[in-house]
Structure 1
Amino acid sequence: MDHKKITVKIDTKADYISIAFTGDLEYGIIEDVKKELQGLSFETEHGYIIDMQKVTNVDSTGFGMIVNFAKKVSVKGKKIVIIVVDDFIRNLFAISQCDKVFPIVTKEEDARLLIKGEWSGELSLSEY
């Protein structure tokens, strides 16, 4: 039987916090990850980079967890940038119009530039 799993690595940088996921963001295996995200302080200069480069699959539960976290970050006045390289996962963000609210990039260097710079989405959080 194929056991799916997810790991999360949280790394505090000088002016942002990096959250890197590896594995599957799916129902039944993300409860511990959700608790870790809920326990994060919002004491960071700029915000968060969510690194999904090593995510192999995501279902609606995992996607919802990411979106809810992104909303909480934005409400606290911090920025969020999401790194997604998988076409299927990028399409999920596009279909849900998240890419109009939060920047979605394919490279870590782009994420680092955006977290420190300006980005204006097509939709505000209140319109989403």
Structure 2
Amino acid sequence: MKMLILSIIALGFFIFYPYRVIAADISPDELRNFIQDRNEEKKSFILIDVRTSQEHQEGYIPGTDLNLPYDQIEKLSQFVNDKDKMIILYCRSGRRSEIAKDTLIKMGYKNVINAGGVKDWVKKGYKLETK
């Protein structure tokens, strides 16, 4: 009986884990402040859009340094060797940036922030840039 209950709990975890709610580490307002501070040389970080290149071309948050899709985030080590460097990630809704964050932490990066998604950025009235 105990084994059956544990099996049901484990099965429930694996079924519902992908549907967990992802909360951004910082709000669009905080990200905007980070970007302003960086422009004033008060903060240093790398802002990465982890959406596809097609999504990126449709519009990205001003100040974005790199577009590196979340499923290729392991390639970041080619661009950023400093594992203590602040890295801020975003995607459309925050889900892919959370996956990328988890991957980078497993790779040894220590200062990784999920900024959520461009949907929240736009909802706050902030503009996107295009090339």
Query: Which of the pair is proportionally richer in helix?
Result: 2
Q: Which of 1 and 2 has higher RCO (CA within 8 Å, sep 6+)?
A: 2
